[in-house]
């Protein structure tokens, strides 16, 4: 009887223990189910976020050489939906030009245990090409050996296509700019050639006029003066009034001949001027019969020597400016100044005339010629109104920029 009771008690304890174990197992099973659901929910959310951001995750088991690729990635790469995928299966999906570079980047990351960033192209089954940016991270096992490589791939096709379009646009812009620059250079060269031809034509015409004045009108005036002198001597004391008139004719003819010689000498000019200061003074004297012309040379330092070709161009600029002031500006006073200072020389012609109008016949071409002459010697020519009236023409030339005679001629 006692034995039967003991057996009953033992069976009860066994039942209790079994029930406790069963309850614990059920609790663990329920917890596992809940945990699995949580992970499944998180995975769905992550996959949704990754899909929205064009992200793909994949993992490479280095020991087994097995790559875990999601179904969407398999479909995009033309890989089977199920089955084992190795590195050799995945690499042919990369663009042939990028395969070696991607392989080297992964090997370097695995050997040096560091993250890798690489951009490459993948080729879809339909032949379309997509750009991908992959960021890989190497995981180690307990022994410190590389065990697996996890990576996140981002589709950057739109960005790459935008970069390619931008490069093409920059290249096109550069090509158009180069063409435009070349066209402008040709245009400037052709314009400079035309201006040079105009200057040379003007110089030839001036020399022709000077020759005609000297050998034509000048000689005729000399002949008139000689004839009038002979007439004066023949009239003598017998006809004093007529002799005085003949003497006046001699004086007028000689003065006219002198003016013709000065005009011819000024028009003839030359390719060089040895002394610019003296030449400007002569210009002032030769034109003083038309108005009051003065030439002044000032210097902040010791005047540097001016090469004859540069002096010739400056003289021609001053000559053109004085002529414009007298003929077109109706000036009564003209001041020619040559100033040295700060490594520059400045030629200034100031008048009190009616002003400088580039639209007046002859002025536009004259201004272009003056500016071209200034450019030939590395300088610049500026035209501005005077403080009260008239015009100021300034030509600034760096002394160290003086060109050679061959450059100007």
Could you say which of 269, 288, 306 is where a domain stops? 269
pLDDT higher than 70, residue 12: no
Task: Specify if 213 maps to a domain.
Answer: yes
The domain that holds 102 is classified in CATH as 3.30.450.20
Give mean pLDDT, residues 88-106: 86
58-79 per-position pLDDT tens digit: 788 888 888 777 766 777 777 7
Please tell me the total count of domains within the chain: 3
Q: Are residues 62 and 93 in the same domain?
A: yes
b/e burial code for range 268-296 (CB count within 10 A of at least 16 → b): bbeebbeebeebbbbbbebbeeebebebe
Cα separation, 279 vs 206, in Å, equals: 18
Give mean pLDDT, residues 241-246: 80
Q: Are residues 276 and 400 in the same domain?
A: yes
CA distances in angstroms from 261 to 156, 180, 214, 307, listed in the order given: 85, 51, 6, 27
279-317 per-position pLDDT tens digit: 888 788 777 766 677 766 565 555 567 788 888 888 888
Position 3 scores a pLDDT of 45
Q: Are residues 61 and 127 in the same domain?
A: yes
Q: Are residues 299 and 387 in the same domain?
A: yes
Q: Are residues 360 and 405 in the same domain?
A: yes
Q: Are residues 264 and 275 in the same domain?
A: no
Cα separation, 109 vs 148, in Å, equals: 11
Model-level pTM?
Answer: 0.44
- What would the two tokens of residue 343 be? 């490594």
55 pLDDT tier (thresholds 50, 70, 90): low
Position 9 scores a pLDDT of 52
Task: Specify if 357 maps to a domain.
Answer: yes
316-347 per-position pLDDT tens digit: 888 888 888 888 888 888 888 888 877 788 99
Task: Specify if 13 maps to a domain.
Answer: no
Cα separation, 252 vs 25, in Å, equals: 143
The set of residues, in sequence order, having a beta carbon less than 8 Å from that of 234 and lying 6+ positions away, is: none
C-beta of residue 383 within 8 angstroms of C-beta of residue 391 = yes
Task: Specify if 163 maps to a domain.
Answer: no
Residue 239: which domain range? 186-269
Task: Specify if 165 maps to a domain.
Answer: no
β-pairing, 391-398 with 292-299?
Answer: unpaired
Q: Are residues 276 and 401 in the same domain?
A: yes
Give mean pLDDT, residues 141-156: 83
Q: Are residues 106 and 228 in the same domain?
A: no
**Residue scoring higher pLDDT (44 or 242):** 242
**3-state secondary structure (DSSP) of residue 153:** strand
Position 175 scores a pLDDT of 92
Task: Specify if 160 maps to a domain.
Answer: no
The domain that holds 305 is classified in CATH as 3.30.565.10
- What would the two tokens of residue 281 be? 């003074």
Q: Are residues 357 and 385 in the same domain?
A: yes
Q: Are residues 107 and 222 in the same domain?
A: no
User: Which neighbouring-strand residues pair with 138?
Assistant: 149
Could you say which of 155, 176, 208 is where a domain stops? 155
Task: Specify if 20 maps to a domain.
Answer: no
Give mean pLDDT, residues 54-58: 71
Task: Specify if 37 maps to a domain.
Answer: no
Could you say which of 213, 241, 269 is where a domain stops? 269
- What would the two tokens of residue 266 be? 């000024």
Which of 213-222, 264-273, 370-379 has the lowest average pLDDT? 264-273
Q: Are residues 193 and 243 in the same domain?
A: yes
pLDDT higher than 90, residue 196: no
Which of 178-182, 350-354, 398-402 has the lowest average pLDDT? 398-402
Name the nearest CA neighbour of 214 among 261, 258, 259: 261
Give mean pLDDT, residues 365-388: 84
Position 14 scores a pLDDT of 66
Q: Are residues 400 and 276 in the same domain?
A: yes
258-284 per-position pLDDT tens digit: 777 766 666 655 555 677 888 888 788
Cα separation, 58 vs 134, in Å, equals: 10
């Amino acid at each position: 009887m006692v034995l039967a009771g003991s057996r009953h008690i033992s069976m009860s304890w066994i039942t209790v223990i079994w029930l406790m174990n069963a309850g614990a197992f059920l609790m663990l099973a329920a917890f596992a189910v809940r945990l699995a659901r949580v992970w499944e929910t998180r995975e769905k959310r992550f996959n949704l976020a990754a899909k929205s951001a064009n992200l793909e995750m994949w993992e490479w088991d280095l020991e087994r050489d097995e790559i875990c690729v999601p179904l969407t990635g398999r479909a995009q790469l033309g890989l089977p939906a199920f089955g084992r995928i190795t590195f050799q299966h995945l690499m042919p999906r990369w663009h042939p030009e990028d395969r070696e570079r991607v392989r080297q980047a992964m090997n370097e990351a695995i050997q040096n245990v560091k993250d890798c960033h690489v951009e490459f192209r993948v080729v879809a089954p339909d032949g379309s090409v997509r750009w991908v940016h992959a960021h890989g991270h190497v995981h180690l096992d307990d022994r410190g050996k590389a065990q697996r490589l996890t990576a996140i791939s981002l589709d950057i096709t739109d960005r790459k296509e935008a970069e390619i379009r931008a490069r093409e646009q920059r290249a096109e812009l550069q090509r158009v700019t180069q063409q435009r620059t070349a066209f402008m250079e040709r245009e400037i060269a052709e314009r400079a050639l035309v201006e040079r031809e105009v200057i040379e034509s003007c110089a030839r015409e001036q020399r022709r006029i000077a020759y005609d004045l000297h050998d034509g009108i000048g000689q005729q005036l000399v002949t008139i003066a000689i004839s009038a002198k002979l007439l004066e001597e023949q009239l003598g004391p017998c006809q004093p009034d007529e002799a005085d008139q003949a003497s006046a004719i001699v004086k007028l003819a000689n003065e006219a001949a002198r003016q013709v010689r000065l005009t011819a000498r000024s028009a003839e000019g030359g390719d060089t001027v040895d002394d610019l200061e003296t030449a400007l003074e002569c210009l002032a004297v030769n034109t003083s019969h038309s108005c009051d012309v003065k030439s002044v040379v000032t210097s902040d330092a010791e005047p540097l020597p001016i090469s004859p070709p540069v002096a010739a161009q400056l003289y021609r600029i001053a000559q053109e400016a004085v002529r414009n002031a007298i003929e077109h500006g109706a000036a009564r006073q003209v001041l020619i100044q040559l100033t040295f200072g700060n490594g520059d020389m400045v030629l200034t012609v100031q008048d009190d005339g009616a002003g400088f109008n580039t639209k007046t016949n002859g002025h536009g071409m004259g201004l272009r010629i003056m500016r071209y002459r200034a450019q030939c010697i590395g300088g610049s020519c500026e035209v501005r109104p005077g403080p009260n009236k008239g015009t100021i023409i300034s030509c600034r030339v760096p002394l160290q920029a003086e060109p050679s005679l061959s450059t100007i001629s």
